[in-house]
Structure 1
Amino acid sequence: MTSSSRAMAGLWRGWGRLLARRPGAAQALTAGALMAVGDVVAQQLVEQRGLSGHQGPRTLRMAAIGCGFVGPVVGGWYRVLDWLVPGATKVVAVKKMVLDQGVFAPSFLGCFLAVTGVVNGLSVEENWAKIQQDYVDALLTNYCIWPPVQVANFYFVPLQHRLAIVQCVAIVWNCYLSWKANRM
């Protein structure tokens, strides 16, 4: 085993211990890190800013939104969803997806865009205009990506790992959201 693979194995074990002891903290940190990765991908691959044009403060803001908003809210929602619709059958997974995409996603997306606008320093009027400009497109894009991912997530993945799995799949989604939320 190479030193880098030992280091990765150690990080994985440490994350597993943190997840077991403090699941909320682990989920918040995971969401923050993966929101930052999504922003880096958005800036480097989508916007093609290059390293000299990379906006570090923007990446830190997206990480903060992941840690302080996305991780806690989505992690809490998954716990509520498991309480509302207990079980692990295919039918239960579809019911959870319908609630997730029909109730949670529309409200979460609006809140995400509002939080991002506030963190980016937009005035109330600018923020409202940005939400009106971006919301429908972002919601329709959400419906193209997330229903099949969520059915698989709710059927195959244990509760404590759902946010991490979603956030890994969501690197592309986070890239899209970062680009959408930071496009002025």
Structure 2
Amino acid sequence: MAPRRPVDVSSLRAAPRMCHRSAQVMAALWKGCGRLLARRPGAAQALTAGVLMGVGDVMAQQLVERQGLRGHHGTRTVKMMAIGFCFVGPVVGSWYKILDRLVPGTSKVVAVKKMVLDQGAFAPCFLGCFLTITGAMNGLSVEENFSKIQQDYVDALLTNYSIWPPVQIANFYFVPLQHRLAVVQCVAIIWNCYLSWKANRV
């Protein structure tokens, strides 16, 4: 029987200090994000959307498509991040502001009304634009892009409806306006993974 290794007491003593430092770093990052949201909400929302679109694409390539690190398409990840920065962040952030003006208030009934407008009017248009932009950035011709949208759109929209209505009701009811896009994008990491796989699938 192999002898047991002695317990490193110094490492055990250091663990609480490391946890405390990690918590301090996370708290500082959270405060920094809060300050950026307060000073430049549009920039913060675009940055958040871009980063999380990139995370979603990495997950799609590595966990769904099993590309491996050597087979990872960095250009594709950069393109998805660019779509997040330039399209998803500004468009969705602006939509939430418009929605707050169209249906003011924070009651449960208001949250349901906002969800119906969001999922009934905005989501179908947004998804169509997203697939179109992704196809164009991937170099598809107009005919190829239209064919791909016909193939993917209905399935993507039905998947959207299986995920987003309850999330958006909670988002509109509990979350302040300036944090809604960030909450949506955090929940949407899996959704972004799906969108990236769907939009880039040959």
TM-score by length of 2: 0.89
- 128, 132, 153: which one pairs with 2:146? 128
SS in 2 for 1:74: helix
Alignment-derived partner of residue 22 in structure 1: 40
- 159, 163, 171: which one pairs with 2:177? 159
Based on CA coordinates, which of the two structures has the bigger radius of gyration? 2
* Letter in structure 1 aligned against 2:179: H
Alignment-derived partner of residue 69 in structure 1: 87
Q: 1 CA distance for matches of 2:33 and 2:141?
A: 38
Q: Does 1:7 align with 2:25?
A: yes
- 91, 95, 99: which one pairs with 1:81? 99
- 145, 150, 156: which one pairs with 2:163? 145
How well do the aligned residues superpose, as a CA RMSD in angstroms?
1.0
Q: 1 CA distance for matches of 2:103 and 2:118?
A: 11
Mapping for residues 47-62 of structure 1, pairs under 5 Å: 47-62=65-80
Deviations 1:125-174 (A, max 9, x none): 11111111100000010010000000000000000000000000000000
Q: 1 CA distance for matches of 2:76 and 2:186?
A: 20
> What's the % identity of the aligned pairs?
78
Q: 2 CA distance for matches of 1:11 and 1:60?
A: 24
SS in 2 for 1:122: coil
Is 1-10 or 60-69 further displaced after alignment? 1-10
Unaligned stretches of 5+ in structure 1?
Answer: none
